[in-house]
Amino acid sequence: MLMQIAEPGESQIKEACRKRVVGIDLGTTNSLVAHVVDGTPTVITGGDATAGDDAALVPSIVHYGADGVVVGHRAAELAAEHPRDTIVSVKRFVGRGLRDLASQRALLPYELAPDDGRMVRFVVGAGDARREITPVEVSADILRAVAARATAAVGGAIEGVVITVPAYFDDAQRQATRDAGRLAGLEVLRLLAEPTAAALAYGLDRGSRGLYAVYDLGGGTFDVSILKLVDGVFEVRATGGDSALGGDDLDRAIAAHLLAEAGVTIDLAADTEAGAAAGAALAQRRLARRAVTAARAVKERLTDADEALFTLSLADGRAIERRVTRAELAALARPLLDRTGRACRRVLKDAELDAGELDGVILVGGSTRSPVVRAYVAELFGREPLCDLDPDQVVALGAAVQAEVLGGGEQQVVLLDVIPLSLGIEMMGGVVEKLIHRNSTIPCGASQTFTTYADNQTGFDIHVLQGERETVEGCRSLARFVLRGIPPAVAGMARAEITFMIDADGILRVTAREQVSGVEASIEVKPSYGLTDEEIEQMLLDSFDHAEDDLQRRNLQIERVEAERILAATRAAIDGDDGLLTDDVRAATEAAIVELRRLAAGDDHLAIRAGVEALDLASKPFAQARMNRVIEAAMRGRTVDDVDHSLAHVHPGDHDHDHDPDHDHAHEPPDGR
Amino acid sequence: MSGSYFELLGLPERFDLARPAIEAAYLDRTREVHPDRFATAAASERVAALQRSMQLNDAYQTLRQPVRRAEYLLNRHGVFIGDNERLDDAAFLMEILELREELAEARVAGKLDEVARLQAEMRRRHRGLLDALIPLFAAVEGDDAAGRADALPRVKRTLIELRYLARYLEECDAALDDEEA
């Protein structure tokens, strides 16, 4: 009897390529993790009810104690007693230097290491255990705890994560978040903007189409994005916000107001832990921490009540007891909310829309639970906002969906996100020339040619900046590098072409090339407030309790999995598109496949990686041909005449500065399809 | 593929295109080649998808805005506008200068409604010039060589005028923004 032996079908290959993935909302106040189960995004809860772990939210709090690192609810319990060694709201420090914090240092109970022009560092521990720790490491500790939770739920090691970031995070903050993921031993598939994630969860939930604004007020950051949802495409039209504005600021405003009213001053200037001052400093830090915590409790109670009692016992035995009304809260919140209002108006302008043209406003972030915030948003947009999905969970749910997409799952949605801030380089006279404007859809690139301004100039100083202002001082410095080795010539002869490339994470890569001589320099934009690769490697090594050969084994495992994935994907592509292979490409590809199989059986992870790269190189022409085929296949049956016909007699679209009456609204499908 | 932006999006090469059609052409294509669709593919395919997506984004950003679309078309006809190209038209320049002074006065005096009025007026004018580009481009795109030779410099002139108007509108925005801040 003849047995039919089936070739591995497409679905089996897809299954082989699929990764175990989760989405992580790394929040200022709380973090959570979600995954897709049978097509439905689901938040993963912890297992230990006694530690409060049964809940979905893991407080983004890390305690660095004598007995080790504690994260989450247990760390929260230690926060009041050990303010200096318990870091809360670390997200506000990510990718930031001391100078960035000048405006928000009030009531911060930390000891910060002296400014060395690099990222903020917290000083924790005492005596021999005293050490400096970066926000990247603190974030990594949170990610590790959250991922551990997911590992238990998913039933195996996590192979990829999508981590959400505020849409308004700049390049430095995104880099730092990515570094934190790496440091936690996670493969970061994508950094996803939080409002986009929320829209994804909402849009899929209701099969929506149309124009939506997402108002996302979290613990420490504010984002507003305008998205257009149509047929499985989530297109961000514009985004704006403030990466240092959130519920935390309201907590501190309440605390500061009530302390001032009671005539209490807190002196946190003594950033020392030495001698007799140490006790006093600790007392002050504890008071600051308790004051802010009490303020937050009052704020939260005012979500349901019209009045709440603020109580705070002071060092001298006195206590502050004060009724706070919702009206008072509203008054204290007003300046902060007005800042969100300005961002909202600007983003509407960038999207060339009036608030009335929106189909809905989505509320995201714990701070939007407050009726004060809801009333403000309703007034601002002239409509009641949508809040039927849990504002604390919606971001993680969206991240899980995107993780599923990137992990090779069934979900067929495409997110078109934008960069929040313009990118440019410094010109003579301290002026910034923008190469890529804010709200450009990513991935994207741009290049521009510059000439020398002095005779015999042999280098170009390239200073990369991000921001909207025209001058260097008004923008954030991302990196500096020099293109050297230019042959001496009269001014204006040498020409440097500078190219910016932004990947789908919104992370920038800059290359510079002198066109006459061909001298080239490139940089993954990092230094200013980032960590170097070497630092991360070192931190990774330090964080592994195991010896170096464990790391070797781990690397080998990673490369083998990758090799298998690539082999399966290439085989599937060849089987599916055989006709596109020319004989020489086929020969080269098959040879590279054989070689990679051989290498993958060995135990040299660098050799395997080289084999993967060789296969990629060999199959490159094939990949290009397939890409053309994909588009042709999608467009088949539609002729230029169809397009032409649909275009006839229509006004030429939009204006740069005006609203367009012809601007299509998502309710009616474009061009009549 | 290194065709024109119009070829990339499968659109006819002309100025008079509706935004919905451009959007639809872009979305149809970008949906198919977005890097996310190739996340688990071989690196060569990921790179190919990334490059194609970037090209599509580039094409879309350029073609969706009429001014940029017009400048792109003009370049395709071998006519370029320099960064600091000025208009040799004293009357026009004088008029813009006066309008700017009016705006500056309104701004200093904090007369927001006056700024808004000037802005609305300038927007109308901006739109009018864009409309004027339609017949000009019809001539550029037509078969009559003489008509084309006549229309191209007029397109260029209109686009330079539009730059002045755009700068003015930016100043209006800035004036309204400082009230916000």
- Cβ-contact A186, A177 below 8 angstroms: no
Of B21, B45, B126, the CB nearest to A647: B21
Mean of all residue pLDDT scores within chain A: 82
Question: With 90 as the cut, is the pLDDT of residue A337 above it?
Answer: yes
Classified as helix, coil or strand, A265 is: coil
Amino acid residing at A286: R
Chain B residues 112-131 with CB within 8 Å of chain A: 123, 126-127, 130-131
For A139-190, write each residue's pLDDT tens digit: 999 999 999 999 988 888 898 999 999 999 988 899 899 999 989 989 999 9
Residue A335 pLDDT: 94
Are the beta carbons of A654 and B19 separated by less than 8 Å? yes
User: CA-CA distance, B170 to A657, in Å (whole number)?
Assistant: 9
For A564-613, write each residue's pLDDT tens digit: 888 888 888 888 777 788 888 888 888 999 999 898 888 888 888 888 88
Task: Give the closest-approach CA distance of B145 to chain A in angstroms.
Answer: 24
Angle at the Cα of A119 from the Cα atoms of A118 and A123, rounded to 5 degrees: 115
- Whether residue A582 sits in one domain with residue A441: no
Question: With 50 as the cut, is the pLDDT of residue A647 above it?
Answer: no
Residue A602 lies in a domain: yes
- Cβ-contact A377, A215 below 8 angstroms: yes
- Whether residue A119 sits in one domain with residue A205: yes
User: CA-CA distance, A11 to A576, in Å (whole number)?
Assistant: 13
Residue A530 pLDDT: 56
Backbone φ, ψ for residue A369 (5° rounding)? -70, -25
Chain B residues 131-170 with CB within 8 Å of chain A: 131, 133-134, 166, 169
Q: Measured between alpha carbons, how far apart are the two ends of chain B, in Å?
A: 47
A369-395: string of b/e by CB count within 10 Å (b at 16+)?
Answer: bbebbbebbeebbebebbbebebbbbb
Give the domain CATH number at A324. Answer: 3.90.640.10
User: CA-CA distance, A516 to B87, in Å (whole number)?
Assistant: 33
Q: Does A443 touch chain B (CB under 8 A)?
A: yes
Residue A363 lies in a domain: yes
Cα A25 off chain centre by: 9
- Whether residue A227 sits in one domain with residue A130: yes
Residue A307 lies in a domain: yes
Tokens representing A625 are 């041909």
Provide the number of CB pairs (under 8 Å) joining chain A to chain B.
Answer: 188
Which domain-ending residue is among A535, A568, A584? A535
Give the domain CATH number at A626. Answer: 1.20.1270.10
Residue A667 lies in a domain: no
**CA nearest A350 in B: which residue?**
B173
Of B35, B48, B58, the CB nearest to A504: B35
Say which residues have a Cβ less than 8 Å from residue A284's Cβ, sequence separation at least 6.
A109, A266, A267, A268, A270
Backbone φ, ψ for residue A105 (5° rounding)? -85, -10
Domain carrying residue A350: 19-246+332-416
Residue A548 pLDDT: 56
Say which residues have a Cβ less than 8 Å from residue A463's Cβ, sequence separation at least 6.
A425, A426, A472, A477, A479, A480
Segment A260-267 mean pLDDT: 86
Residue A660 lies in a domain: no
Task: Give the closest-approach CA distance of B21 to chain A in angstroms.
Answer: 6
Ordered structural domains, chain B, with CATH: 5-64 (1.10.287.110), 90-180 (1.20.1280)
Q: Measured between alpha carbons, how far apart are the two ends of chain A, in Å?
A: 52
Residue A418 gets which letter from DSSP?
B
Of A503, A569, A658, the CB nearest to B40: A569
Tell the residue number behind the tokens 């005596």, with chain if given: A127
Segment A191-198 mean pLDDT: 95
Residue A334 pLDDT: 95
Q: Which residues of A touch B169 (CB under 8 A)?
A: 656-657
Q: Which residues of B touch A655 (CB under 8 A)?
A: 66, 123, 126-127, 130
Q: Does B34 touch chain A (CB under 8 A)?
A: yes
Task: Give the closest-approach CA distance of B13 to chain A in angstroms.
Answer: 10
Quick count: other Cβ atoms within 10 Å of Cβ B131? Answer: 12
Q: Does A431 touch chain B (CB under 8 A)?
A: no
- Please name the residue ranges forming H helices in chain B: 5-9, 19-33, 43-64, 66-76, 90-108, 112-141, 145-180
Residue A526 pLDDT: 54
Are the beta carbons of A653 and B64 separated by less than 8 Å? yes
Residue A527 pLDDT: 46
Residue A629 pLDDT: 77
Q: Closest by alpha carbon to A273, among A287, A263, A265, A285?
A: A285
Query: Which band of pLDDT confidence, cut at 50, 70 and 90, is reported for residue B117?
Result: very high
Mutate to test the interface with A, among B15, B38, B45 (most CBs of A within 10 A): B45
Backbone φ, ψ for residue A487 (5° rounding)? -60, 135
**Active-site residue list of A:** 25, 91, 194, 216
Are the beta carbons of B19 and A617 separated by less than 8 Å? no
Question: With 80 as the cut, is the pLDDT of residue A6 above it?
Answer: no
Which domain-ending residue is among A467, A502, A535? A535
Q: Closest by alpha carbon to A22, among A197, A167, A220?
A: A197
Residue A663 pLDDT: 36
pTM for the structure as a whole: 0.80
Are the beta carbons of B18 and A656 separated by less than 8 Å? no
Cα A457 off chain centre by: 39
Q: Which residues of B touch A656 (CB under 8 A)?
A: 65-67, 126, 166, 169
Q: Closest by alpha carbon to B18, among A653, A434, A258, A545?
A: A653
Number of domains into which chain A is organized: 4
- ipTM score assigned to the predicted complex: 0.85
User: CA-CA distance, A484 to B140, in Å (whole number)?
Assistant: 45
User: CA-CA distance, A287 to A266, in Å (whole number)?
Assistant: 8
- Which of A100-114, A538-552, A561-575, B108-122 tops mean pLDDT? B108-122
For B20-30, write each residue's pLDDT tens digit: 999 999 999 99
Say which residues have a Cβ less than 8 Å from residue A188's Cβ, sequence separation at least 6.
A160, A161, A162, A163, A178, A181, A182
Quick count: other Cβ atoms within 10 Å of Cβ B88? Answer: 9
For A450-500, write each residue's pLDDT tens digit: 887 778 887 888 888 888 888 888 888 888 878 877 778 777 777 888 888
Classified as helix, coil or strand, A530 is: coil
Residue A528 pLDDT: 52
Are the beta carbons of A443 and B173 separated by less than 8 Å? no
- Whether residue A431 sits in one domain with residue A564: no
Q: Does B47 touch chain A (CB under 8 A)?
A: yes
Question: With 60 as the cut, is the pLDDT of residue A525 above it?
Answer: no
Residue A12 lies in a domain: no
Residue A640 lies in a domain: no
Classified as helix, coil or strand, A502 is: strand
Residue A543 pLDDT: 56
Of B18, B31, B166, the CB nearest to A233: B31
**CA nearest A406 in B: which residue?**
B39
Segment A111-127 mean pLDDT: 85
Question: With 60 as the cut, is the pLDDT of residue A274 above it?
Answer: no
Classified as helix, coil or strand, A447 is: strand
- Whether residue A501 sits in one domain with residue A368: no
Tell the residue number behind the tokens 């949605």, with chain if given: A413
- Whether residue A194 sits in one domain with residue A104: yes
Q: Does A658 touch chain B (CB under 8 A)?
A: yes
- Whether residue A567 sits in one domain with residue A428: no
- Whether residue A186 sits in one domain with residue A165: yes
Segment A515-524 mean pLDDT: 68
- Whether residue A64 sits in one domain with residue A211: yes
- Whether residue A614 sits in one domain with residue A481: no
Residue A470 pLDDT: 84
Segment B60-72 mean pLDDT: 94
- Whether residue A182 sits in one domain with residue A99: yes
Percent of chain A with pLDDT over 70: 83
Chain B residues 49-108 with CB within 8 Å of chain A: 49-50, 52-54, 57-58, 60-61, 64-67
Are the beta carbons of A441 and B57 separated by less than 8 Å? yes
Question: With 80 as the cut, is the pLDDT of residue A523 above it?
Answer: no
Which domain-ending residue is among A302, A331, A360? A331
Query: Which band of pLDDT confidence, cut at 50, 70 and 90, is reported for residue A47?
Result: low
- Whether residue A437 sits in one domain with residue A363: no
Helix (H) or strand (E) holding B12: none
Among A182-186, A280-284, A305-309, B125-129, whose mean pLDDT is lowest? A280-284
Mutate to test the interface with A, among B40, B46, B54 (most CBs of A within 10 A): B40
Are the beta carbons of B52 and A627 separated by less than 8 Å? yes
Of A349, A628, A652, the CB nearest to B16: A652
Q: Which residues of B touch A231 (CB under 8 A)?
A: 27, 31
Question: With 60 as the cut, is the pLDDT of residue A53 above it?
Answer: no
Quick count: other Cβ atoms within 10 Å of Cβ A155? Answer: 8
Segment B45-57 mean pLDDT: 89
Say which residues have a Cβ less than 8 Å from residue B134's Cβ, sequence separation at least 6.
A652, B15, B16
Give the domain CATH number at A228. Answer: 3.30.420.40
Question: With 50 as the cut, is the pLDDT of residue B73 above it?
Answer: yes
Tokens representing A9 are 């079908």
Residue A347 lies in a domain: yes
Residue A380 pLDDT: 95
Mean of all residue pLDDT scores within chain B: 90
Residue A555 pLDDT: 75
Higher confidence at residue A278 or residue A178?
A178
Among A339-353, A546-560, A577-591, whose mean pLDDT is lowest? A546-560
User: CA-CA distance, B139 to A192, in Å (whole number)?
Assistant: 46
Are the beta carbons of A627 and B49 separated by less than 8 Å? yes
Q: Closest by alpha carbon to B168, among B129, B114, B121?
A: B121
Segment B52-79 mean pLDDT: 93
**β-strands A414-416, A222-230 pairing:** unpaired
Question: With 70 as the cut, is the pLDDT of residue A502 above it?
Answer: yes
